[in-house]
Structure 1
Amino acid sequence: MNESVSVLMNVLGASWAVLVEAAPWMLMGFAVAGLFRAFLPGDLVSKHMGGKGIGGILKASALGVPVPLCSCGVLPAAAGLKKQGAGKGPVTSFLISTPETGLDSIAVTYALLDPLMTVIRPLVSFVTATAAGVSVAFFERFEQPTAADAQAAAAPAACGTGESCCSSESRHDPELRKPVAERIRSGLGFAFNDLLGDIGRWFLLGVLLAGCISAIVSPDMIGLVADNELLSMLVMLVVSIPLYVCATASTPVAAALAMKGIAPGAALVFLLAGPATNVASLTVISRLLGKTSTIVYLATIIVASLAAGLLVNHLYHLLGLDITSWAGTDVHGKSSPMEMVSAVVLLILTLRAMLRKNAHSETS
């Protein structure tokens, strides 16, 4: 009994250390996401993703990088884009780059891992999303149209013009006419209520998983696969593909694995494949894009993740960095008062957002 209590206390202590380290960057990431919401037109993404050319795919990949949505949260947004006339290629790119990264997860990557991985993660996400979009656009010509395709084709005609209803409404976006202070308040409210309510529980779950790994998993256990770079990446791939984990929640888990000796390439595979795939989202994507496109979508993520992992390990070797002790932050180090306060504030805001979301779900 005493041993179980001791293990539980170690897990909670390690989880708290991860939360304290990540909290300031999480708060900053959500604040920036709120400002994006306040000052960017609501249909900015859809306006630049129409058609099936490489231009739309590149824009979708780039615009999806800073948007902080998880793999399930991005599905309704992608479905809306599809209905507004976006091609399968751009929609696929958006489905990958959006959940794999986000302003909040980029900030947490810098806090828990290292500056190099902070740059590599969104860059590889962009390349993977672009490759998948181009591949899906290529194979689209061999696939039978889905019901979603028919709806998307009919959507522009609903206005009786050559453009979609949404694009005509964008010229008169009421949000852009509001006072600056009101827009900032609305954007921050969205970030710290709606957005935090969507991913807050998954972030806390990721923190707890990181605490379990830190307290229970020994370096010897990780060493069973860590010595073989390709095997460790395959293990991360098998674990991450069916798992539901958002980009932010995956970061503390990857950091805990890194502190135990997992190479940056294997950690990157988990950071890329985990947020972009899970069993629930793949079933929806299959209905949205079709079976052939879904297979191409998943295959591209697998191949790109493994290739990126191998290249990243090689890059760390070239830079003279030790891939067994590459994470730049020790989550068990002494915390500053600012970090402690940030952790308490983030925890309170997360619990508040979760309660508001549950209450809204019960009343609706």
Structure 2
Amino acid sequence: MIIDLGLNVDFLYSFLQNIWHFTNLISFYILFGLLFAGVIKQVISDDYIKKHIGKDSLGAVFKAAILGIPLPLCSCSVIPFASSLQKSGASKSALQTFLIATPITGVDSIMATYGAFGWFFTLYRVISSVCISLLAGFLSMLFVKEKPITSLWGVAKPKATPLLLKQITPNQKPFAKRVFSYAFDMLFKGIAKSLLIGIVLGAFFASIIPKEFSDFFTDNLLLSYLFLILISAPMYVCALTSLPIGLTLILTGFSPGSAFVFLSAGPATNLVTISVVKNILGSKSLFIYLFSVIFGSVFFAYMLDLLFFENIKDIKNSMIEEENISYLDMFSSLLMFGLFARYLLKR
């Protein structure tokens, strides 16, 4: 009984320590990224996006990939926006591209990835996400026949507001207030539960996964990639909330490519998104969507482990060095836990 109690105390200490450490690694970058996302929301209008990806062309596909990178839309919040794009006349190829590029990245996720994994992994993640989304768009152009989609606006679409969300009105809230409201009352509130669950699950698995388990998958890279794709499908993880589990994979000995697979495929292949893609775009488009995400994630993961290991071999060491944690990181963590309490305890 004494031994069991000792084991429980050790586990609890490790579990709580991992929660605190994971939060310190990502909290500042999440909060800053959310604020930046709030700014983007105020300066880039929905009509502007619709205007640039509404054609079935290579240009529209490229624009869908580029516009999808900074937008702070997770795999579920991108769905109603994609539906709106379709009804406004967007092509299936552009929608394919947008539906992959947007949930995998996002300015908030990019900044948090940099805080946890460093600049090289972050840059690699962004570039590979663009390539995966472009692959889906090009395959859709080749193999999916487009039927003209009647715009909700009838014959002519309204002119897109250049780079403004809406016209200034006397009763409009101040810019800073709109930024903070969107960043926290909309974005953070929407992901608070899943982000906290991700941190807790990541800390839990980091405390219990035996070294032999990760060693087996490290020696069998392809098997580890497929295993992580399979477990990510039934989960709902967006680009931001998948980060704690990605951290866990690295800290428990999985290869960086394995973490990349989860961070890339996880946000794009959950069951909700799969169902909606089928309903909006059809079965053939769904096959292209899944093929592009799975093949692209595995390919780029293998390239990461095979060709760029020297660039990322110190990721784990930088994560576990406590001296890298600053007072700003700790303050940001306390602030984020306060936001968890604000938005989760009120429900």
TM-score (norm 2): 0.91
Corresponding letter in the other structure for 2:139: S
Q: Deviations over 1:75-133 (max 9, x none)?
A: 00110111111001111111101110111111111111122111001111111011101
Distance 1:328 1:290 in 2: 45
Corresponding letter in the other structure for 2:159: S
Query: Do structure 1's residue 168 and structure 2's residue 171 form an aligned pair?
Result: no
Distance 1:8 1:71 in 2: 33
Q: Deviations over 1:236-280 (max 9, x none)?
A: 222223321111111121112112221122211111100011112
Q: Deviations over 1:206-238 (max 9, x none)?
A: 111220122111222200111122222122222
Query: Do structure 1's residue 155 and structure 2's residue 145 form an aligned pair?
Result: no
Corresponding letter in the other structure for 1:183: F
Corresponding letter in the other structure for 1:155: L
Q: Which moved more, 1:40-49 or 1:287-296?
A: 40-49
**Aligned residues of 1:100 and 1:247 also touching (Cα < 8 A):** yes
Query: Do structure 1's residue 329 and structure 2's residue 318 form an aligned pair?
Result: yes
Correspondence for 1:213: 205
Correspondence for 2:234: 242
Match of 2:73 among 69, 72, 75: 69
Correspondence for 2:290: 298
**Aligned residues of 1:112 and 1:331 also touching (Cα < 8 A):** no
Correspondence for 1:15: 19
Q: Which moved more, 1:27-36 or 1:2-11?
A: 2-11
Query: Do structure 1's residue 339 and structure 2's residue 329 form an aligned pair?
Result: yes
TM-score (norm 1): 0.87
* DSSP-derived class of the 1:311 partner: helix
Gapped regions of structure 2 (runs ≥ 5): none
Query: Do structure 1's residue 31 and structure 2's residue 74 form an aligned pair?
Result: no
Identity score, percent: 30
Describe the shift of the 1:322–1:93 C-alpha distance in structure 2 as closer, same or farther (beyond 3 A): closer
Describe the shift of the 1:351–1:89 C-alpha distance in structure 2 as closer, same or farther (beyond 3 A): farther
**Aligned residues of 2:103 and 2:238 also touching (Cα < 8 A):** yes
Q: Give the number of equivalent residue pairs.
A: 341
Corresponding letter in the other structure for 2:268: A
Distance 1:174 1:307 in 2: 38
Query: Do structure 1's residue 352 and structure 2's residue 346 form an aligned pair?
Result: no
Describe the shift of the 1:332–1:239 C-alpha distance in structure 2 as closer, same or farther (beyond 3 A): farther
Counting only pairs closer than 5 Å after superposition, residues 174-193 of structure 1 correspond to structure 2 as 175-177=166-168, 182-193=174-185
Distance 1:205 1:250 in 2: 10
Corresponding letter in the other structure for 2:339: L
Distance 2:162 2:30 in 1: 33
Query: How far is 1:172 from its partner?
Result: 11
Gapped regions of structure 1 (runs ≥ 5): 359-364
Q: Which moved more, 1:18-27 or 1:175-184?
A: 175-184
Query: How far is 1:322 from its partner?
Result: 6.6
**Structure 1 residue ranges (4+ consecutive) displaced by more than 6 angstroms after TM superposition:** 171-174
Counting only pairs closer than 5 Å after superposition, residues 260-275 of structure 1 correspond to structure 2 as 260-275=252-267
